Amino acid sequence: MEEKQFSGILNGAVPGEPVKTDKNSRRGNWGNQIEFILTSVGYAVGLGNVWRFPYLCYRNGGGAFMFPYFIMLVFCGIPLFFLELSFGQFASQGCLGVWRISPMFKGVGYGMMVVSTYIGIYYNVVICIAFYYFFSSMTNLLPWTYCNNPWNTPTCNGVVTPTGINNTLANVTRSLVTGAAEVAVEVVNKTKRTSPSEEYWKHYVLKISDDIGNFGEVRLPILGCLAVSWVVVFLCLIRGVKSSGKVVYFTATFPYVVLTILFIRGITLEGAVTGIKYYLTPQWHKILDAKVWGDAASQIFYSLGCAWGGLITMASYNKFHNNCYRDSIIISITNCATSVYAGFVIFSILGFMAHHLNVDVSEVADHGPGLAFVAYPEALTLLPISPLWSLLFFFMLILLGLGTQFCLLETLVTAIVDEIGTDWIIRNKTVVTGGVAIVGFLLGVPLTTQAGIYWLLLMDNYAASFSLVIISCIMCICIMYVYGHKKYFKDVEMMLGFPPPIFFRVCWRFVSPIIISFILIFTVIQYKPITYNDYVYPGWSLAIGFLMAMSSVTCIPIYALYKISKSEGTTFLERLKNSCKADIKWGPALSEHRIGHYAAPSSEGEVEVRPLKEELKEKEDEKRDEISLTIQGSNGSTAHNTTPSA
């Protein structure tokens, strides 16, 4: 008996609960809870932790930014994370199926699918560019080290002196530079230096065009890497969570090994301390700036992957009694700690680079693709055995990107399979996965053209911006106020064995929606048209960006109107009320978990129906289950003994 209880704890069972064989054999489950946690960590920890958080930190007051960042983590990040995990786990459904809780709001699920589609398209293009740089680093000399390549321009100015220069020529050069110091300063002031890494990025890798409408040619090397990226993602998801759950043991943990190696190397470099000080030194006066709090809230919200649908999907493969409350805290804190840790790695290298160039750290600090494919590669050329460090850095970017991409693709596949729900499509889920991967590859082809980087940044800035905030806010309102907070708290208690802590109940009902609204208002007030370096996007492209952003949000009212029109009732109010009611299929997927008011014999479809019993015995069982929910054990769990139905 003790051995069974111990085994149950290892599998994520609630302490005090009798161990059950609650595997969903039809839909599948995670092999164990470590796989779920690692997958969720890989999903939440992505490229933004490396190329956005450190930049936000130094721009918003250094160490002072940590204070609002962790405040937003506690009051917004963890509560929303817990809400989505519990939502998906309770129903064992993806981002569409869970809306049986209130069918009128199923458009929120479609909105999540649209967002995940956009992100999945351009995210894999970023991964494929990382693959390209990874393959390019397999050489004795990094190709972006010097300015003596066919693609370089006269304004190129490298930071590494080519070896093998004749000593006499070097001396003459030095004396010329010394004798013409004033002229050199004037030239530098008038002409912006372009680094070999920047020219390699623009003129060789991308062959970037002059306008977003000028697509030019497809860059075949990038297209080939994109095919490699999608094949890798497909192979890792070929058996759904059963295969991806094994892959994440490597993809979710090895980036931390690489980060640690780069960190140890970084702090041993001259100037590293200056970079880290620049990263951490608090500027307390900025705490009073609303923009700092807005950036902190936005970074927490976006980096955790809230409202993408991935958290609901990943949690839907958990066993019913898994302690997702514990998981949400572990994963959220791990995500934020990774961001802080990555900041040390990035700024130790940037501090070394600033020292080498004799400039301020702010002049070499960057974010987004500029950090990953320009600033950091240039810094790597200054290190001994630079190809080794370059291989490690881009391998880390690939793994970070793949961890997120796995979940994005699984979100779409799970939503499609759950929605259709036939035995054939469940047995042939691999075919659906392959189909989604092929469509994703084809839609990503325009991003491999010479104008691809413009479209990639447009999608990054608009496809998953304020639309995510709106989706998350509506989700909170639906669960807490339409379905009812008391009913949902009882659902969570039935699943976990204890009610949600009062802190989370308050956050779900009041604090988190207020913070989400603040993020939305902040996003609108602080809006600035997108630019890429000196290129200003034309108005028509910005209109396309807004259409992408609105395409996910408009799913919500369109589906709501459709559902109301199809609902029973003679008046609009009757139809509205009926469309908001929970579907009879809402609730736990397995019959052994459908107790209390969920034990109604009318449940059909994907819910496994109990065999018919004598009417009297069925009523007695139902009554006993309802009574047992009210009896609390000493550890806060529900002290009832529910045995699986025959």
Residue 620's pLDDT is 53
Residue 170's pLDDT is 36
DSSP labels, 16-70? TSPP-----TTT---SSHHHHHHHHHHHHS-HHHHHTHHHHHHHTTGGGGHHHHH
- 419 close to 316: Cβ distance less than 8 angstroms: no
Phi, psi for 632 (deg, rounded to 5): -100, 135
The answer for residues whose C-beta is within 8 angstroms of residue 67's C-beta and 6 or more apart is: 287
Binding-site members are: 42, 44-45, 49, 303, 335, 400
Q: What share of the chain is helix, strand, coil (3-state, %, to 5)?
A: 70, 0, 30
User: What confidence category does residue 26 fall into, taking pLDDT thresholds of 50, 70 and 90?
Assistant: confident
Instruction: Say how many C-beta atoms besides its own lie within 10 A of residue 322's C-beta.
Output: 25
Residue 171's pLDDT is 38
The answer for residues whose C-beta is within 8 angstroms of residue 229's C-beta and 6 or more apart is: 124, 127, 128, 131, 405
Side-chain-facing half-sphere of 566: CA atoms under 13 Å: 9
Region 218-246: mean pLDDT is 95
Please give the structure tokens belonging to residue 226.
Answer: 């994109």
- 138 close to 388: Cβ distance less than 8 angstroms: no
Residue 93's pLDDT is 94
Region 355-381: mean pLDDT is 87
Binding-site members for Na(+) are: 42, 44-45, 49, 303, 335, 400
CA dist., res. 248 & res. 235, Å (int): 13
Provide the whole-model pTM. Answer: 0.85
Q: Does pLDDT of 187 surpass 50?
A: no
State the DSSP H helix or E strand holding residue 531, giving kind and residue range, or none if neither.
Answer: strand 531-532
List domains and CATH numbers for the chain. Answer: 49-147+197-579 (1.20.1740)
Q: Does pLDDT of 160 surpass 80?
A: no
- 288 close to 390: Cβ distance less than 8 angstroms: no
Instruction: Say how many C-beta atoms besides its own lie within 10 A of residue 360's C-beta.
Output: 11
Region 618-634: mean pLDDT is 44
User: What confidence category does residue 600 fall into, taking pLDDT thresholds of 50, 70 and 90?
Assistant: low
The residues with which 638 forms a beta bridge, in sequence order, are: 632
Region 414-421: mean pLDDT is 92
Q: Does pLDDT of 190 surpass 60?
A: no
Residue 601's pLDDT is 56
Q: How far apart are the first and last CA of the chain?
A: 21
Q: Does pLDDT of 83 surpass 80?
A: yes
Region 436-440: mean pLDDT is 97
| Tens digit of each residue's pLDDT (9 = 90 or more) over 334-366 | 999 999 999 999 999 999 988 988 888 888 877
Closest CA relative to residue 244, chosen from 544, 469, 42: 42
Residue 644's pLDDT is 39
Eight-state DSSP code of residue 532: E
Q: Does pLDDT of 546 surpass 90?
A: yes
The sign one gets for the Cα dihedral 293, 294, 300, 301 is positive
| Tens digit of each residue's pLDDT (9 = 90 or more) over 482-506 | 999 999 999 999 999 999 999 999 9
Please give the structure tokens belonging to residue 319.
Answer: 């066993």
Mean pLDDT rounded to a whole number for the chain: 85
% the chain with pLDDT above 90:
65
- 446 close to 455: Cβ distance less than 8 angstroms: yes
User: What confidence category does residue 28 fall into, taking pLDDT thresholds of 50, 70 and 90?
Assistant: confident
CA dist., res. 544 & res. 556, Å (int): 20
Q: Does pLDDT of 1 surpass 60?
A: no
| Tens digit of each residue's pLDDT (9 = 90 or more) over 506-541 | 999 999 999 999 888 888 888 888 889 889 999 999
Q: Does pLDDT of 615 surpass 90?
A: no
